[in-house]
Amino acid sequence: MTEESLFGLAGRVAAIIGAGSGIGEAVALGCAEQGATVCCLDVDLQAASATAEAILKQHSPATAAGLDVTDPTAVDRSLGRLVQEHGALDVVVCTPGVNVRKPIVDYTDEEFDRVVDVNLKGSFHVLRAAGRLMAPRRRGSIILFSSIRAQVVEPGQSVYASTKAGIVQLVRTAAAELGPAGVRVNAVGPGVVDTPLTSQIRNQPAWHNAYAAKSVFNRWATPQEMVGPTVFLASDASSFVTGTLLMADGGWTAVDGRFDPM
């Protein structure tokens, strides 16, 4: 098997949710470069359409549609429509996430619900809908986005971290349930990535530098650096990989502190 066929996505239909910006946008472009027909989905239809237009300029097939992952009926309808239009749904990637940074004692019920509804419940809606569509076809790859916060926490990240840990357990359970039907389910765990979600801390030099120092590379990741891990999990290169959390965190969760022998 050649490298191109091993990691390539030619002939496959990939739905990228959150394709309007950040990691989702980068992954949509990356999947297109590997030959996939990409369906760009985002709560911001204008942003999703811009990503689809960028893919079309590369002479790759792409479409766009609006989608709010907190609406289960819309998720079912949107993914089901792709199967009707393309005859298949081979890859589903779900990247949307929100965060409210504050101490637990200051959290409101409304803020809790907002973070859980998008991050955890939204991921559940996507996972359930994709699983229902892929299982009868006995193939498919579902990729959810978790975080380093599924493994390590910091003050002010309680609810966000809880949702990201919950995503990992959803992935593991779905992998066990859908595996016999030939469907693989995995998660990517980014470290700190330069996206709209992190702009709040990126714009504060002290926070920016502190986060950069947590990586062994002493820098933040770019959204494009999440493409490789995602394409790997979407492709035949990971045909025996399921139920895993693939960390793409620049060593953040592997290294505890610094040591200079000099």
Give the active site residues: 160
CB of 150 closer than 8 Å to CB of 197 = no
Residues 104-111: contacts with CB within 8 Å, 24+ apart?
104/158, 107/158, 107/159, 111/159
CB of 17 closer than 8 Å to CB of 85 = no
Judging by beta carbons within 10 Å of its beta carbon (0-12, 13-18, 19+), is residue 5 exposed, middle or buried?
exposed
CA distances from 254 to 193, 215, 249 (A): 17, 9, 9
